[in-house]
Structure 1
Amino acid sequence: MNNINETNNVNPNWEGNWQNPRFRRISMVRAIEIALQRVPGEAIKAELEFDDGVLQYEIEIRTNQGAKYEVRVDAVTGQVLRVKLD
């Protein structure tokens, strides 16, 4: 899935000053929304980090059944990079 609009190179998930490459990232709120679409539950922790050369959000989610998942979301594209049961 391509989240970038081909006509003007704008990712619809970006907020604010998307023209400046230093600020081209989705918001933490949007990253949590994306993670919760993959793993329904409650987001209990979210961090922005640089890991393996990729700026990404690490979001911890507790499901209604009590399971805890770690979901990593690419901070630029909004793509889910990994879902891991903790």
Structure 2
Amino acid sequence: MLFPFYNLWDNYWRQYRINAETAIQTALQRVPGQVIRVEVDTEDGLLVYEIYIRTTSGIIYEVTIDANTGEILEVDRQND
């Protein structure tokens, strides 16, 4: 194998990173509604999912989830 470290990193991410579906389900447990956008980003060196949810009352929230642990880091109400 020419690049064994790629395989090592691939296995790391498979073992420790949660997938987008898990992040979405976690966010919906905190803020019920319709998911309108999902982004992967970094914040303070952490890989995070940013999930935007519209509630039944029309308010949009951004739920930030640690992509490694699945922990909800922040819930922000978006300004109109």
Q: How does 1:20-35 map to 2 (within 5 A)?
A: 20-23=11-14, 24-35=16-27
The structure in which a higher percent of residues are helix is 2
* TM-score, reference length from structure 1: 0.74
Q: Which has the larger radius of gyration?
A: 2
Q: CA RMSD in A?
A: 1.3
In 1, the alpha carbon distance for the partners of 2:12 and 2:48 equals 15
* TM-score, reference length from structure 2: 0.80
Question: Once superposed, which parts of structure 1, at least 4 consecutive aligned residues long, lie more than 4 Å away?
Answer: none
Q: How does 1:2-81 map to 2 (within 5 A)?
A: 20-23=11-14, 24-81=16-73
How many residues align? The count is: 68
In structure 2, list runs of 5 or more residues that go unmatched. 1-9
Identity, % of aligned positions: 49
